[in-house]
């Protein structure tokens, strides 16, 4: 009965996150595959499937929230990938994270920026820091 | 020397928050007017003055972050006003706050929604709940 | 297609929360009824429907988490009702909240205790404080 | 066996918080008096009894932390009283709270300031806002 | 005068955490042994010594809270060990952590699950992921 | 127009943080140099430049807040360096972090202590743990 939500979620996830979420699902497989299913069904089958915001606007919201929360670096990296995949530029992502300094303080903003930087380096958007 | 940033910040604040931030500044006047000045200078003179994101995109990010943080209801209300002022619809704001349930849990999302609802009622966008 | 999850969630919600969640759903009705539906479908149709923990154990976990988070007093009150409904005693709830002082500090523990006390008073478990 | 810590804690609490903590202890009496005892024993009998920092330095640390946490307004008010009692000036407290804007963001700083302002008004340090 | 609480705490800690807390105490030895003593005295001599909840119920509460807080992975790992030691099954721990997705969001739930998985792998409950 | 604040901030940063912040600024250079500039201008040109608290008192507040927040270990390490540079002793820093156990719980206090210990080891204040 949840198959339809799962299928729809997987489709949205593929549009948004590309391969970035695959490692997460793989790592959950032998401990809590249902948690992975819920993320796909609820996060991407329900929430991301809703009209009213574009994928780009949704990623702006998610990158902002994950930066502000401060304890979600691995998920922030997945959504920096996602943001880039749905049309955000590196500079727009940098802007969102800088903006968070006013709402969550410099430490959350800095740690978010360094998580994002890892993705930018991985994708060749900035040179690897040596 | 900070006058230029303050002037620019006030200009941006007026475009964005209309009168919603005025009560905050007024309440700070006799205890910490400098904190109010920093919000205007840094928040609106520096951050909101940067190119790269539209005011609407910045408000999407801020509404998302303030909902996720969970301890910022008064500021969320100011930014729900601001979001409406710069072109977000009520439905878009509702979407952002629903989306936060996946990243910060249902309690943060619910409390954010009820803060936003107060603004919607205040502005006549939904009927006053009796 | 989500009807089955909603029905099942409503059934679980009725077993667990009695009438305490009704006001929440009512207040969401004119602003974001879908958020209410997601809480019922995901929170009570998916999560609370899972085998592996009793309702009492689930409420111990939820009361602990909502106390520790510190920003979820209204939801904590709903779940103090729920905990009492599924067989926790007042004293067990008090124990959970005291325990949180070690993991989230005295302020979170104190604020959780005062939220719980409101429920205890409401249900006549302790005398109304005058 | 905890009597000595309790006595010592009560003594320290009286030096530091004056009457501000009394209402807290009173409100705990019929629901969780042991939580009140732990605050006195651990918070004031153990921690505040340690050498190495003055009471004023301890209150600077506590006011900063409670402001940054964002979910502890009632406890922040108790410790603004305490800070004033052990020799902090109103202006020093205002400074600490402004400083938190850089580490926890403007919302936490603003909400902390308004909690502190209530204490300043209560003690006649600034005029009641009308 | 705290000897009795310390002895009692150590006894409870040994019943609950087995050897998992030893590395923590060892690492504190040359920087802040008193913090280790407070954890034993307050956490295990006072709190865990209280009647009213079983050790298993206390661990359910602690695993839930540490997952929800999001910033306590090392302590969560200690208490996943503890939960297993006092009779929780791996599946019950997985259930608690999945449940937290509804209250603290998917990122806190995911990061908690991966911390728990490290313990499950360490104890041979699931195969080492290669 | 921000040059004066930047110069003043850099001067304060040099007095306070010595070389500890340099790596941060370096790492921001190719991704978000403006965020580094804001930290210098706002954090050290505005906030740390204010009269009313000594640098030592400001560092007590910052170390307390960063410990309590729980998600700011890299920034805590920078400010443990800073605290030592402006006259705090290792023992005073240890005291502040122990104190946070009462306000933010043992996990935040423990994680803060281990971050601080890394700095103490780095500066030869305690022997490298083997």
The pLDDT tens digits of the residues spanning D68-110 come to 999 999 999 999 999 999 999 999 999 999 999 999 999 999 9
Q: Say if residue F130's pLDDT is above 60.
A: no
For residue D128, the 8-state DSSP code is P
Instruction: Please judge whether B105 and E107 are an interchain contact, meaning their C-beta atoms are less than 8 angstroms apart.
Output: no
**Residue B41 has which token pair?**
């200078």
Long-range Cβ pairs for the range F84-87 (8 Å, 24+): F84/F119, F84/F123, F84/F125, F85/F15, F85/F16, F85/F17, F85/F18, F86/F15, F86/F16, F86/F54, F86/F55, F86/F56, F86/F59, F87/F55, F87/F56
Contact C107, D72 (CB under 8 A): yes
E17: nearest Cα among E103, E99, E72, E76: E76
Task: Say if C114 is an interface residue toward chain F (CB within 8 Å).
Answer: no
Average pLDDT over residues E45-67: 97
Q: Please, what sign has the CA dihedral across residues B69, E109, A114, B100?
A: negative
Instruction: Name the band, by pLDDT with cuts 50, 70 and 90, for residue E20.
Output: confident
Q: Say if residue E129's pLDDT is above 70.
A: no
F66: nearest Cα among F15, F33, F12, F109: F109
Instruction: Name the band, by pLDDT with cuts 50, 70 and 90, for residue D21.
Output: confident
Average pLDDT over residues E62-88: 97
Task: Say if F30 is an interface residue toward chain A (CB within 8 Å).
Answer: yes
Residues of chain A with pLDDT under 70: 1-2, 129-130
Q: Say if residue B2's pLDDT is above 70.
A: no
Q: What is the pLDDT of residue B129?
A: 54
Burial of E38 (0-12, 13-18, 19+ CB in 10 A): buried
CA–CA separation, C77 and C21 (whole Å):
10
Instruction: Please judge whether C64 and E61 are an interchain contact, meaning their C-beta atoms are less than 8 angstroms apart.
Output: yes
Structural domains in chain A, CATH included, are: 1-50 (no CATH), 53-130 (1.20.1290.10)
Q: Say if residue D29's pLDDT is above 80.
A: yes
Q: What is the pLDDT of residue B8?
A: 95
| CA-to-CA separations, D43 to A115, C110, D59, E72, F93, in angstroms, rounded | 37, 13, 12, 22, 18
Residues of chain C with pLDDT under 50: none
Q: Say if residue F69's pLDDT is above 60.
A: yes
CA–CA separation, E116 and E90 (whole Å):
9
Query: Scanning the structure block, which residue is given the tokens 């990061």?
Result: E111
Q: Say if residue D129's pLDDT is above 60.
A: no
Q: Nearest residue on chain E to A72, judged by CA atoms?
A: E107
Q: What is the pLDDT of residue A125?
A: 97
Q: What is the pLDDT of residue A86?
A: 96
Q: Tens digits of per-residue pLDDT, B27-55?
A: 999 999 999 999 999 999 999 999 999 99
Give D97's contacts in chain A (Cβ within 8 Å): none
Instruction: Please judge whether B61 and A96 are an interchain contact, meaning their C-beta atoms are less than 8 angstroms apart.
Output: yes
Contact A32, A25 (CB under 8 A): no
**What percent of chain E lies above the pLDDT cut of 70?**
96
Q: What is the pLDDT of residue C127?
A: 84
Instruction: Please judge whether C99 and E58 are an interchain contact, meaning their C-beta atoms are less than 8 angstroms apart.
Output: yes
Q: What is the pLDDT of residue C121?
A: 97
| CA-to-CA separations, E50 to B116, C94, E2, in angstroms, rounded | 42, 11, 17
Tally of residues, chain F: 130
| Cβ atoms within 10 Å of B66's Cβ, excluding its own | 31
What is the distance in angstroms between the CA of the first residue and the CA of the last residue of chain D? 50
Query: Scanning the structure block, which residue is given the tokens 């994708």?
Result: A123
The phi-psi region of residue E87 (left if phi > 0; otherwise alpha if psi is between -120 and 50; otherwise beta) is left
Longest dimension (CA), chain A: 51
Instruction: Please judge whether B104 and E105 are an interchain contact, meaning their C-beta atoms are less than 8 angstroms apart.
Output: yes
CA–CA separation, E111 and E86 (whole Å):
23
Q: What is the pLDDT of residue C45?
A: 96
Tally of residues, chain E: 130
CA–CA separation, F18 and F82 (whole Å):
7
3-state SS string over A50-62?
CCCCCHHHHHHHH
| Cβ atoms within 10 Å of D54's Cβ, excluding its own | 11
Residues 6+ apart with CB under 8 A from E45: E4, E5, E6, E7, E8, E9, E10, E12
Q: Say if residue F2's pLDDT is above 70.
A: no
Instruction: Name the band, by pLDDT with cuts 50, 70 and 90, for residue B127.
Output: confident
CA–CA separation, F99 and D51 (whole Å):
12
Q: What is the pLDDT of residue D65?
A: 98
Task: Say if A111 is an interface residue toward chain B (CB within 8 Å).
Answer: no
Q: What is the pLDDT of residue C22?
A: 86
Average pLDDT over residues D97-124: 98
CB-CB: which of A100, A103, A106 is closest to D102? A106
Contact E24, E59 (CB under 8 A): no
CA–CA separation, C117 and D33 (whole Å):
12
Q: Nearest residue on chain B to F41, judged by CA atoms?
A: B42
Exposure b/e, C20-34, CB count within 10 A at least 16 = b: bbeebbebbeebbee
């Amino acid at each position: 009965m949840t198959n339809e939500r799962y299928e729809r979620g997987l489709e949205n996830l593929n549009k948004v996150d590309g391969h970035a979420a695959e490692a997460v699902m793989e790592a959950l497989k032998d401990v809590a595959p249902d948690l992975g299913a819920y993320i796909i069904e609820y996060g991407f089958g329900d929430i991301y499937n809703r009209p009213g915001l574009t994928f780009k606007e949704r990623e702006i919201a998610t990158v902002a929230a994950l930066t502000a929360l401060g304890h979600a670096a691995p998920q922030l990296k997945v959504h920096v990938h996602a943001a880039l995949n749905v049309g955000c530029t590196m500079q727009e992502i940098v802007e969102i994270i800088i903006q968070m300094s006013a709402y969550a303080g410099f430490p959350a903003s800095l740690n978010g920026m360094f998580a994002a930087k890892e993705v930018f380096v991985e994708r060749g958007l900035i040179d690897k820091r040596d």
